[in-house]
Amino acid sequence: MQYLLRKQIILLVILLSTVFAIQAQTIDVNRPYQDEKPITLGLNIGISSGYMNFERGTAFIHPTAGQTNWISPVFNNALIMGLSGTLRLNSHFLLRVNPNILISGTKDIFNFTEFPNTTDKYKMNVASTIVNLPIALKLESDRYNFFKQPEFMRHYVFVGMKYDYDFSSSKEGKGVSLNGILQTKSYPNLLNAADFGYEAGLGISFYFPYATISPEIKFSYGLRDMRNPNAAPTILLNSLDKMTSNFVYFTIHVEGESFFLKN
């Protein structure tokens, strides 16, 4: 009896081993037809860190009364939420449109002093809600294995252009004292609402059964001078030759099924 039971146990172990071996050899590739879809839709969420870049002029070294005698940028974080649409051009190149909204509320953009009073320091803050409209050319690798999962991931790089618009109801800057004694100063229409520039970044895509998840990092550089020439008083930023906005984004993209081609 024990001999028969031992044979059954051995037979069961062999059978289970065979099943697991066959299953291991036939692991399904997640979303195998993803690369055949002409258009893929998705959404993204992330964070950004932005700052103003200054090109200082000769007036900064030799300021007149009311001009900034010292100025330094401040880094600001914002929440990013957006949508994406990707058009496949061929097996490796794609065109992606990725409108986003950056929500940061009131943010500090720089610290400064005014000549000839260089003792009292201020921080400049403005309300900000930015709509970011980028378009990028994306180059991606072939899919490759990750541990025992076949064709599970790929990496990619991209370059493109962007247009930003700040929909804040007020473009008024507030010069808030860092000394804690002086009253707040008001600077109406300090910055331009619109900006444009170029972007570049890289990321990795992971292909799960029902979605593709892609963490990526992106660097964004503004080209337009953000100083509003109609601001009053403009003397505050006249000691600068140019002021541009720069951003670093960390974003997670999620792409699902396309309406144009089903698996």
The number of distinct structural domains making up the chain is 1
pLDDT given at position 185: 80
- Asked if residue 260 belongs to a domain, the reply is no
pLDDT given at position 259: 46
Q: What is the pLDDT of residues 220-259, one digit of tens each?
A: 999 999 988 877 666 778 888 899 999 999 999 999 865 4
Q: What is the pLDDT of residues 112-136, one digit of tens each?
A: 888 887 888 888 888 888 999 999 9
- Asked if residue 188 belongs to a domain, the reply is yes
Q: Which two tokens stand for residue 191?
A: 């910055």
The share of the chain scoring above pLDDT 90, in percent, equals 41
Average pLDDT over every residue of 21-30: 60
- Asked if residue 117 belongs to a domain, the reply is yes
- Asked if residue 18 belongs to a domain, the reply is no
- Asked if residue 67 belongs to a domain, the reply is yes
Average pLDDT over every residue of 67-86: 90
| CATH number of the domain where residue 194 is located | 2.40.160.20
- Asked if residue 115 belongs to a domain, the reply is yes
Q: What is the pLDDT of residues 160-206, one digit of tens each?
A: 999 999 987 566 778 888 877 767 888 787 888 899 999 999 999 99
- Asked if residue 10 belongs to a domain, the reply is no
CA–CA separation, 83 and 135 (whole Å): 12
- Asked if residue 142 belongs to a domain, the reply is yes
Contacts 24+ apart (CB under 8 A), 65-68: 65/115, 65/116, 66/114, 66/115, 66/233, 66/235, 66/236, 67/114, 67/115, 67/235, 67/236, 67/238, 67/239, 68/112, 68/113, 68/114, 68/115, 68/236, 68/237, 68/239, 68/240
Range of the structural domain that residue 44 is part of: 39-255
